[in-house]
Amino acid sequence: MKFEDLGLEENILKALTEAGYDTPTPIQAQAIPEALKGRDVLGIAQTGTGKTASFTIPLIHRLAQGRAKARMPRSVVLAPTRELAAQVSESFEAYGKYHKLTMALLIGGVSFADQDAKLARGVDVLIATPGRLLDHYERGKLLLSGVQVMVVDEADRMLDMGFIPDIEKIFNLTPFTRQTLFFSATMPPEIQRITNQFLSAPARVEVARQSTTAENITQRVVHMPSGNDSLKRATLRKLIRDTEVKNGIIFCNRKKNVDIVAKSLQKHDFNARPIHGDLPQAYRTETLQKFRDGEISLLIASDVAARGLDIPDVSHVFNFDVPVNAEDYVHRIGRTGRAGRSGHAYMLVCPSDDKAYAAVLKTTGLEKIDPVDMGDFFDEEQKSGGKTRGGRNSRKSGDDKTHDQKSGDSKPSNERRSRSHREKDEPVVGLGDHVPAFLLRDAS
Ligand code: AMP
């Protein structure tokens, strides 16, 4: 199916072609025709499925006819966060570039006076977070009785953020005859109740999260010679340096490892931050915001923390550990390569990960995942006994030394020397991967 088959206005098709889209995503193919018929739509879809366009496109189509009156927006889009609201407005600008639709944004961080002036002139589309919209309404700056279409985006996130009473209020201020396009990634009972109350015989369209791994994701593994965590961190740094990482998520199986990997990367001058359930909410929110804004380029996460996070498409996913549940592998790497873009996924596989790795292959239906050619990296690492693991950066800044001093460890250099001596000359027999912890301690 092509966008031309959906019966859209010529000007929208032109804008879509220029945006580089010719094939609707599944949620678009299902939702757009229903919305064009004027039906209410209940869309169950996550970010990354193309859901934003599935409501902006029919909205532009419908608003192409008619004009807005002062202080009476013709449509309202409610979004839980200002970033999401801003994303929706960008979508309108892109697909509506050949329409003269007017738009106001009522979100934090955008000048109240400017938006009020726009509202006073009349807007076709009002994009808002619920609280801001009610603020304007209560000041008598806004009338919702002319709303023909109301869109609710990411309703389940609004529920998490306590916005449901505000949304109910806003629904009740709009005409009963409005068309409603309602999107949520999940349908908890409270959201079900709202849709029963405010949607009228909706077309229910649903796209499941992809359960198989997308073809546009390049997957690679690194077969580690041992399960040494410090060597894993050195390998991770090499991968990040060698591949063009715009932004990436590094997954670890345990919270403790999330913290260690994050600290280590920060120490090596990477722009990285951890995110897991034990960190304060304010820190998590700030971290995510900075990651979305591109101020932080690497996020180190646990599976639980990453679930349900609204994270934009990332260029790389690194599996520092092979996930315990193979299904998590699919979820993890699904963070990259969204909506047809290309993505890259790397995974470190240690000898002890054999079973978990086999489970990943089984779940993804892959016979094998191509290994990265690491050249003589592991040999070099082994020869240097980990001393070069800091790479050029850290050696220059003397990080190793600082770390020893900071940790108050009085013997590390001796320990390291004896370890390097042993690694060089005589392999440790009988210990396998289970080298005593103190031998593995180093600066990274
Ligand atoms: P969304 O799920 O709405 O956040 O969209 C995810 C990404 O997919 C956005 O960056 C869109 O620009 C992109 N996108 C949406 N629809 C299409 C399409 N039909 N073809 C290609 N990319 C799309």
217-397 has which CATH code?
Answer: 3.40.50.300
Q: What's the pLDDT score for residue 387?
A: 62
Give residue 70's pLDDT band: very low, low, confident or very high (50, 70, 90). Answer: very high
pLDDT digits (tens, 9 = 90+) for 16-26: 999 989 899 99
Same fold yes or no, 3-206 and 217-397: yes
pLDDT digits (tens, 9 = 90+) for 262-292: 999 999 999 999 998 788 878 888 898 899 8
Q: What's the pLDDT score for residue 208?
A: 65
Instruction: Take atom 1 of ligand 1 and give the residue whose Cα is closest.
Output: 50
Closest-CA residue to 19 (of 340, 315, 310): 340
pTM over 0.85: no
Q: Which of 5, 32, 52, 336 to mutate to test the pocket of ligand 1 (most atoms within 8 A of CB)?
A: 52
Q: Is 138 exposed, middle or buried (0-12, 13-18, 19+ CB in 10 A)?
A: exposed
Task: Please give the share of the chain, as a percent, with pLDDT higher than 90.
Answer: 59
Q: Which of 13, 21, 46 to mutate to test the pocket of ligand 1 (most atoms within 8 A of CB)?
A: 21
More reliable by pLDDT, 436 or 137: 137
Q: Look over the chain and give the mean of its residue pLDDT values, rounded to a whole number.
A: 84
Q: What's the pLDDT score for residue 301?
A: 92
CA of residue 196 to ligand 1 center, whole Å = 28
Q: What's the pLDDT score for residue 308?
A: 56
Q: Which of 59, 184, 315, 338 to mutate to test the pocket of ligand 1 (most atoms within 8 A of CB)?
A: 338
Q: What's the pLDDT score for residue 310?
A: 62
Q: What's the pLDDT score for residue 299?
A: 95
Q: What's the pLDDT score for residue 389?
A: 55
Q: What's the pLDDT score for residue 213?
A: 54
CA of residue 72 to ligand 1 center, whole Å = 30
Is CATH 3.40.30.10 the right assignment for the domain spanning 3-206? no
CA of residue 34 to ligand 1 center, whole Å = 19
Per-residue pLDDT for 166 more than 50? yes
Q: What's the pLDDT score for residue 420?
A: 37
CA of residue 53 to ligand 1 center, whole Å = 7
Per-residue pLDDT for 331 more than 60? yes
CA of residue 123 to ligand 1 center, whole Å = 25
Per-residue pLDDT for 415 more than 90? no
pLDDT digits (tens, 9 = 90+) for 378-402: 999 888 876 655 443 333 333 333 3
The upper half-sphere exposure of residue 114, i.e. CA atoms within 13 Å in the direction of its Cβ, equals: 9
Per-residue pLDDT for 411 more than 50? no
**Which of 19-28, 149-158, 224-233, 389-398 is least confident?**
389-398
Per-residue pLDDT for 295 more than 70? yes
From the CA of 94, give the closest atom in ligand 1.
12
Q: Break the chain into its structural domains and give their ranges.
A: 3-206, 217-397
Per-residue pLDDT for 424 more than 60? no
pLDDT digits (tens, 9 = 90+) for 196-210: 999 999 999 988 654
For residue 188, how far is the Cα from the chain centroid? Answer: 21
